[in-house]
Chains A and B, each alone.
Chain A
Amino acid sequence: MESNRSRTRTLKHWIGQPSSAIFLVFIILIAFFQLSNPIFLSPVNVATMLRALSYTGIIGIGMATCLMSGVLDLSVGSTSALASVVFGSAIRDWGFDLLPAIGLGLLMGVLVGAINSFVILKLKITPFIATISMMFIVRGLANWVSNGYNIYPLSDQVLALGYARPLGVSWAFWAFVVLAILTHLVLQYSLFGLLIRAVGSDREVAMCTEVNVDRVNTITLVSVSVLAAVAGIFISFVINAGSPTVGSGWEFTAITACAIGGISLFGYHGSIFGLFCGLAVIQIMQNGIVMLGVSPYLQNVVVGAILIIAMMIDVRRRAYLDLDKI
């Protein structure tokens, strides 16, 4: 009797985790695709998937903290493009060495984040409108800097970074891992992590308790832009070019990964583990359905349907725990 109760408690605790539903989907998908094609979990294919998720993963980390603090940034894909072309121009046209060029690319992220913060927090424009406007402005700037043209080729040093396979994957993936661990530690164990959730939970209450709400949001908005710049520079390594077209749609992939990973679009809830599961599920589906030979016309249908199933499981989980009544 006691052991039954203990088992139920453990199950409830596990189901109580926001990312449990997507983790379940993640496991089911891996099992399904592996059984369908044993090559699915081959080292080469796993490395391919990990490399592919790293760019939107790096952005997803910033997006997750933004969402948890109650703001949203739709300009991240454009910021990646701006960082990519500024980095590319710095290397090819302005005679910069690698590190200063990376610094200049990252500076673009800081600037875009600072402008987003100013527009959202000082001019009181909603994050959706402010960042969608910045999405156009920054993409336009990326085209202007590059004359709308790929800045190509960069240098042998950049190319070597793109070719590098540390532990069989890529620098971008390991950067994602390090950033994910750091962000997880900050969110779980630091005062700042607590402040992010406090601001995302209820801005007014946070203000009343003398939390510097604007400071918290500024840090999350600048962080996501800098991370977008990091992703833009990493893709430049791979293509050996600064490209004004990179990052198209990355904002939606990052937000989708957050949403299906259990990160609330309205603040507070979520974890970096959930984000990883969300990113992995998207990548596994995109890779797996090609392996299954699903008609390309139907691939998006399958992806959309699996996302809905993932969300349905989450709704059931919440209903089971009565979370919606809280």
Chain B
Amino acid sequence: MFKKLFFIILLLGLVLGACTPKSKPVEVAQTEKSLKDLQNGKPFRFITNGLEHPVIRTMILGFVEACEKYEVECAVMGAGGFEDSDYIRLVEQSIAQGASGIIASTYSPFRPTEAIAIKQGIPVVGFHTPMKEGEFPGLLAWVATDVTEYGKATADAIAEKTSCGSPVAITQNTFNDTENEASRSFTEEYTLKCPDAEVLAPELEGGDQAAAIAKAGAILTAHPDIKAAYGTTGGSPTTWAKALEQAGRKPGEVVVVGMDYTRPNLDLVKQGWVYAVVGQPIYEETYKAVEVLIANMKGEKVDFNNSYPSPIITITDVDKYYGYADRVDAAVQEGVFDLP
């Protein structure tokens, strides 16, 4: 009796199995298998620090969503804070654990370690910082916005809004390649466009909000006639808005342009404290980097330069960028950023 029941179930299983439509799933399975086969059990690794930073969250989102779309194995190698040594450790860890591709910052201190990966045959795609051909031998490609261009675009926007107002302050989070170039190109363009204007040397605002507000306050005291401020980091809109408010200034009295379309920054644009934010293509960078690695893995030719524009987001187009903030918020709730 028991045996009979067993065979009936077995037969039913076979019949049902035979009746299951196979065409589409088999296709998907084959595509998935072929890409994963090419990966040979080694995931694409996205290396990042500053895990708590909203900009980094958006970058991770771009990476994760691209991996989901193309059904490739992926891993985020992340650390909190912005310690260079942590980043280098993560690159070393990625090499040790194996990777079919690495997406990493090509900030100069990280290159020697990334060069080891390249020597071992792991394709490396840089993100967020444009590179010149041959600047980093062996680098497969870079995906970034053109920092020089957005520095210039910001200068043009401020020059137009303030009618070549002067002086103009600049603040940076740290002295790194990207922010240095943003400040340099801004200063060059602004002084070219407004030859009589004074652009102050960049000051460090740092990552501590209380200290950053105090620093911006000191700049406002030293230069009470300041007409505009350009902050090259995502914290700058809050830094300048709070410093201006504490100094008794009115919204719009000083034209502030900062970086990144995070929710607090978009709110400050809406409130009028910040004139505009530079919309770095932070989501697109990592998304495209995955596509570059896939194309390379398939043996297709890939472009070395992959540049995306960074729009200057003012009050007129602020609403559409809240969508990204909403998606990041949803991803936080879904645990996308809960790394093992």
Contacts and interface: CB of A to CB of B under 8 A. Distances in A.
A239 B209 contact: yes
Contacts of A308: none
B57 interface: yes
B205 to A, nearest CB: 10
A246 B211 CA distance: 10
Given A149-B57, A238-B213, A291 B218 contact: yes
B337 A290 contact: no
A17 interface: no
A286 B80 contact: no
Contacts of A244: 52
B264 A48 contact: no
Contacts of B264: 150, 152-153, 241
Contact of A148 (B51, B204, B267): B51
Contacts, number: 107
A150 B204 CA distance: 22
A290 to B, nearest CB: 4
A286 B219 CA distance: 11
A78 B289 CA distance: 35
Contacts of B242: 238-239
Contact of A290 (B51, B175, B213, B222): B222
A271 B184 CA distance: 47
B54 A150 contact: yes
Interface stretch (A18-26, A38-46, A201-209, A311-319): A38-46
A19 B172 CA distance: 35
Given A238-B242, A296-B201, A290 B218 contact: yes
A2 to B, nearest CB: 49
A55 interface: yes
Contacts of A149: 52, 54, 57, 332
Contacts of A235: 209-210
B52 A48 contact: no
A249 interface: yes
Main SS of chain A's interface residues?
A: helix
Nearest to A241: B264
Nearest to A246: B209
A283 B215 CA distance: 10
Contacts of A295: 201
Contacts of A248: 207-208
Nearest to A147: B332
Measured as residues with beta carbon below 8 angstroms from the partner, the interface class of chain B is: 35 or more
Nearest to A153: B267
A252 B221 CA distance: 26
B214 A283 contact: yes
B222 A48 contact: no
Contact of B247 (A48, A150, A153, A293): A48
Given A149-B52, A245-B52, A296 B204 contact: yes
A39 B222 contact: yes
Nearest to A152: B264
A49 interface: yes
A155 interface: no
A243 interface: yes
Interface string B216-256: 01111110100000000000001000110111100000000
Nearest to A163: B245
Contacts of A177: none
Contacts of A256: none
Q: Output the residue of B51, B210, B242, B248 with the most chain A CB within 10 A.
A: B210
Given A48-B243, A56-B210, A148-B51, 11 more contacts: A40-B221, A45-B221, A149-B54, A149-B57, A153-B267, A243-B209, A245-B208, A246-B209, A286-B215, A288-B218, A299-B204
12 contacts: A45-B217, A143-B80, A149-B57, A149-B332, A247-B208, A248-B207, A286-B211, A287-B214, A290-B215, A290-B219, A296-B201, A296-B204
Interface of A: 37, 39-40, 42, 44-45, 47-49, 51-52, 55-56, 139, 143, 147-150, 152-153, 163, 235, 238-239, 241, 243-250, 283, 286-288, 290-291, 293, 295-297, 299
Shortest beta-carbon contacts, A-B, top 5: A52-B214, A48-B217, A148-B52, A290-B218, A291-B222
